[in-house]
Amino acid sequence: MDLQLAGMVVVVSGGCHGIGRAIVEAFLGEGARVVVGDRDAAAGADLVARRGAAADVAFAAGDLADPAVCARLAALAVGRFGGIDVLVNNVGRNDGVGLDGDVDAFLGSLRANVGGAFALLRAALPSLRARRGAVVNIGSKVAVTGQGGTSGYAAAKGAMLALTREWALELADDGVRVNAVCPAEVWTPMYEQWLAGCADPAAERARIERSIPLGRRFTTAREIADSVVFVASPRASHTTGQVLFVDGGYVHLDRRWTPTTS
């Protein structure tokens, strides 16, 4: 299937590592031009250098919780490639701000995990409207299952799903589609790092894998990216306000079949 993404301009927040990086590579594979925002300046420079000959990647370094950095990222896309067709709000971190944290920590988590997405959409909106573009928000299972000990992240990801509906409606008359892709357990460097801190990483990994009905394995970042690319593409032209769970059935299938003990 031709996804009709060749030449389109895609902005990806947090595109240097993990799921964001897989999303960047998947769009490049479809012939799109990609503008990446990430706080890892060295990884961003490396990405641009690697695509040197193709000149199809631009990079802005900075903390995307800061609206000024979001504005700079959107301006880079417009300045370098002439506009924005797709925005992927991927930045997010399960920062463990729970009920033992104070209100400032909670609000800080909201600012980092959803405030930046709001700021980036506002910055990209004139261009998205002009091009009748698409937005994809990256959610999390935590928005619908909870996790414990992570009030800020849960609230922010819940907001991302609510905003997917809110923005889809508000922007429908402009022809801008807004959808979300919701991962549960995706094998990324961040996940590997978190697992390394567990008392028995191998046992914890096996326990998590047993809880995923389809294949008893983690979702790959590429599997998330492929769904993002499709739902962002003109081939999904009448799909908006949807939350697509790409999680091997983790969230919705009967737990009777997903024992977490061996």
Catalytic residues: 153
Beta-carbon contacts of 173 under 8 Å, excluding residues fewer than 6 positions away, are none
Q: Does 38 bind ligand NAD (CB under 6 A)?
A: yes
Q: Please pick, from the candidates 186, 225, 232, 244, the single residue that binds ligand NAD as defined by CB under 6 A.
A: 186
CA quadruple 124, 130, 134, 139: dihedral sign = positive
Q: Is 181 helix (H, G, I), strand (E, B) or coil?
A: strand
**Alpha helices, H only, 96-220:** 103-110, 116-131, 142-145, 151-170, 189-196, 201-210
CB of 48 to ligand NAD, least distance (A): 14
Q: Is 237 helix (H, G, I), strand (E, B) or coil?
A: coil
Q: Is 111 helix (H, G, I), strand (E, B) or coil?
A: helix
Residue 112 vs 131, nearer CB to ligand NAD: 112
Residue 9 vs 73, nearer CB to ligand NAD: 73
Q: Does 74 bind ligand NAD (CB under 6 A)?
A: no
Q: Does 112 bind ligand NAD (CB under 6 A)?
A: yes
CB of 61 to ligand NAD, least distance (A): 8
Q: Is 13 helix (H, G, I), strand (E, B) or coil?
A: strand
Q: Does 18 bind ligand NAD (CB under 6 A)?
A: yes
Beta bridge partners of 12: 36, 88
Residue 32 vs 156, nearer CB to ligand NAD: 156
Q: Directed axis angle between helix 189-196 and helix 201-210, to 10°?
A: 120
Q: Does 140 bind ligand NAD (CB under 6 A)?
A: yes
Q: Please pick, from the candidates 5, 10, 11, 19, the single residue that binds ligand NAD as defined by CB under 6 A.
A: 19
Q: Does 185 bind ligand NAD (CB under 6 A)?
A: yes
Q: Does 168 bind ligand NAD (CB under 6 A)?
A: no
Binding range to ligand NAD, per CB under 6 A, among 11-19, 80-88, 167-175, 204-212: 11-19
Residue 17 vs 72, nearer CB to ligand NAD: 17
Q: Does 137 bind ligand NAD (CB under 6 A)?
A: no
Written as six digits, the tokens of 136 are: 């994809």
Tell me whether strands 33-38 and 9-13 are parallel, antiparallel or unpaired: parallel
Q: Are 250 and 212 in contact (CB under 8 A)?
A: yes
Q: Does 48 bind ligand NAD (CB under 6 A)?
A: no
Name the residue type at position 66.
D
**Applying CB under 6 A, which residues contact ligand NAD?**
14, 16-20, 38-40, 63-65, 90-93, 112, 138, 140, 183, 185-186, 188-191
